[in-house]
Structure 1
Amino acid sequence: MISVESLTKRYREVTAVEDVSFRCEPGTVTGFLGPNGAGKSTTMRMICGLTPPTSGSSTVKGVPYRRISNPGRHVGVLLDAAAQHAGRTGRETLSLSAQILGVDQSRVGEMLERVRLSPKAARRRVGGYSLGMRQRLGIAQALLGDPSVLILDEPANGLDPEGIFWMRSMLRDFADRGGTVLLSSHLLLEVEAVADRFVVIAGGRIVAQGSKQELLTKPGGVIVRALDPAALQAALAQAELTARPDGQGAFAVDASPEQVGRAAAANGVILLELRQAGGGGLEELFLSLTNPAAATAPVPQEALR
């Protein structure tokens, strides 16, 4: 578990993070989202004990990260894939980490295989790695100590589509086996595909957090489109359902999908589309919450649960 309570970080007159609180439960992937400069990396560095907070606190597995004995055996961290010794090979990098963590050297080969770095790549110096290869090596380091918590900052940067699919599957499997994952990423579709919960930060403050269902299932009726728009409008009016043309041949209706479907069926209207309104997914939510106006506007209480 990761628990963050009122974390704040100020650099003289600049407040990078202000009163940030959230929890990441075992068995879940939490997507930590926000635009560049929103405070994601600063928050993650405070959780990992690399940046001291101005106020507030955080714990990992019930204690501050700095108090965890041999933390790599409990918490896998990847904050900057470029922060690796360029002169060592990939295998040497993991071998040294294994010595520091006190794990068997057999784990080195296992992790290289797990992140799909070939024997040839493992013999190359890290300075010659692509960004995607560095990310795979960084993930291998994070997994080396067989931790129960993962804290990953933009781990998909530089990965090709196959690599992103692999990472998504790996994180889902890790969480499904009881692990806790805090994942920062700007690849919204990938986060939406793997995360159970979202924490959205903008301007250094949390603007929304909750489960995928809480944040992405929005009220507001349905969007419906028919082969004969006039007949559909008449059927909705007959059922006393309020419908508003959307200017593209469809109607926004303040009703449930069942109510609209029954009204259409009762009048023999053929539907081409019937969906929940506000179905733009995580991208729509992200843009609505992180624009400058949203960052300062009051946030609905249900989004802050």
Structure 2
Amino acid sequence: MISVEHLTKRYREVTAVEDVSFRCEPGTVTGFLGPNGAGKSTTMRMICGLTPPTSGSATVKGVPYRRISNPGRHVGVLLDAAAQHAGRTGRETLALTAHVLGVDQKRVGEMLDRVGLSPKAAKRRVGGYSLGMRQRLGIAQALLGDPSVLILDEPANGLDPEGIHWMRSMLRDFADRGGAVLLSSHLLLEVEAVADRFVVIAGGRVAAQGTKHELLSEPTGVVVRALDGAAFQATLAQAGLPARPDGQGAFIVEAPAEAVGRAAAATGTVLLELRQASGGGLEELFLSLTNPAAASAGAPTSVPASVPASQEALR
């Protein structure tokens, strides 16, 4: 488990992170999201003991990271895939890590296979690796000690679609076996597909956090587009089906599709579109919290009016 309590980091007059609190429980993947410069990497570095906080605290498995004996056996960390010795081969990199952690060298080959680095690739020097290959090697290092917690900062950078799919499956399997994952990524659709909880940070502060169910609205109502929109809106109002414009020429009606279809048939209205409305997804939530102007420029944003009181909500 990861517990972050009121973490704050100031660099003279600049506050990079302010009063950030959240938890990552065993058996879950927590998506840690925010725009560039929001404070995500600084927060993760404080969790891993690389950057001292100005105030507040962070613990992993109940203790500060620096106090964990042989931390690589308990916590797998990938903060920068480029921070690897360019002159060593992939296999040498893992072999040295295994030696430091006191792990059986047989794990080296197992991890290379698990992350999809072939024997040929493992013999190449890391300096010749693509970014995607470095990411796979970094993930292999994080998994080498068989940890119960993973802390990953942008691990999907440079991965192709097959690699992203593999990573999603790997993280889901890790959590389903009782592990705790803190995942920072700009690939919102991938985070939405794998994460159980989200923490959204903006301007160094938590903007919202909660479960997928709490933060992402479910689809409600239907989207309808008629040949004569204004006339059909009046028809819907007469039928007791109030409609609101969606900003793109259609209407959103909080009613079953059958009721809308019957109203159209009764008046001979030609419908161009009738479909279930989509719920507010993670991308929509992210934009509404971190860049309201961008969100309002597109389709109307569906964001929970409030997050449950137990959450750090919408500051």
Normalised by the length of structure 1, the TM-score is: 0.89
Corresponding residue number in structure 2 for 1:75: 75
Deviates more, 1:109-118 or 1:233-242: 233-242
Which residue is 1:222 aligned to?
221
8 Å CA contact 1:229–1:249 kept in 2: the answer is no
Residues 9 and 54, structure 2, Cα contact 8 Å, conserved in 1 = yes
Partner of 1:35: 35
CA distance in 2, matches of 1:232, 1:248: 16
Cα shift at 1:246: 3.5
Give the drift of 1:70. 0.9
Q: Match for residue 46 of structure 2?
A: 46
Most deviating of 283-292 and 67-76: 283-292
Task: Output the CA distance in 2 between the equivalents of 1:217 and 1:40.
Answer: 25
CA distance in structure 2 between the aligned counterparts of 1:229 and 1:167, rounded to whole angstroms: 48
The aligned amino acid for 2:276 is: R
The residue type paired with residue 263 of structure 1 is A
Change (3 A) 1:49 1:293: farther
> Alpha carbons of 1:239 and 1:25: their partners in 2 closer, same or farther (altered >3 Å)?
farther
Letter in structure 2 aligned against 1:14: V
Give the superposition deviation at 1:236.
3.1
Q: Does 1:264 align with 2:260?
A: yes
**SS where residue 307 of structure 2 aligns?**
helix
* 1:5 corresponds to: 5
Distance apart, 1:245 and its partner CA: 3.5
How far did 1:248 drift?
4.1
Cα drift, residue 234 of structure 1:
5.9
Q: Distance in 1 between matches of 2:264 and 2:290?
A: 44
Question: In 2, distance between residues paired with 1:210 and 1:184?
Answer: 15
Whole-angstrom distance in 2 between the partners of 1:81 and 1:283: 25
Which residue matches 2:275?
A: 274
Which structure 1 segments of 5+ residues have no match? none
Match of 1:210 in 2: 210
Q: Which residue identity does 1:264 align to in structure 2?
A: V
In structure 1, C-alpha distance between the alignment counterparts of 2:132 and 2:26, rounded to whole Å: 28
1:1-305 correspondence to structure 2 within 5 Å: 1-217=1-217, 222-225=221-224, 233=233, 236-246=236-246, 248-253=248-253, 255=254, 259-264=255-260, 266-267=262-263, 269=265, 272-276=273-277, 279-291=279-291, 301-302=306-307, 304=312
What CA deviation, in whole Å up to 9, does each residue of 1:60-111 have, x standing for no partner? 1111111111111110000010111111110010001001111100000000
**Separation in 1 of the partners of 2:146 and 2:199?**
26
Q: Distance in 2 between matches of 1:244 and 1:293?
A: 21
The one-letter code sitting in structure 2 at the alignment partner of 1:225 is: V
Tell me if the contact between 2:77 and 2:142 (Cα under 8 Å) persists in the aligned partners. yes
Report if aligned partners of 1:264, 1:271 keep a CA contact under 8 Å in 2.
Answer: no
User: C-alpha displacement at 1:275, in angstroms?
Assistant: 2.8
Q: Is the alpha carbon distance of 1:233 and 1:300 closer, same or farther for their aligned partners in structure 2, counting shifts above 3 Å?
A: closer
Paired residues, number: 295
Q: In the alignment, is the contact (CA less than 8 A) between 2:216 and 2:282 conserved in 1?
A: yes
SS of residue in 1 equivalent to 2:6: strand
Q: Distance in 1 between matches of 2:252 and 2:150?
A: 42
Quick one: percent identity of the two aligned structures?
A: 81
Report the AA paired with residue 151 of structure 2: I
Amino acid at match of 1:302: V
CA distance in 2, matches of 1:111, 1:275: 44
- Write the letter of the residue equivalent to 2:27: G
SS at match of 1:302: coil
- 2:115, 2:232 → 1: CA distance? 53
Moved more, 264-273 or 150-159: 264-273
Secondary structure of 1:103's match? Answer: coil
Partner Cα separation in structure 2 for residue 217 and residue 12 of structure 1: 40
What is the rounded CA distance, in whole Å, between the counterparts of 1:121 and 1:33 in structure 2? 32
The 8 Å contact of residues 235 and 263 in structure 1, kept in 2 or not, is answered as no
Report the RMSD for the aligned CA atoms in angstroms: 2.4
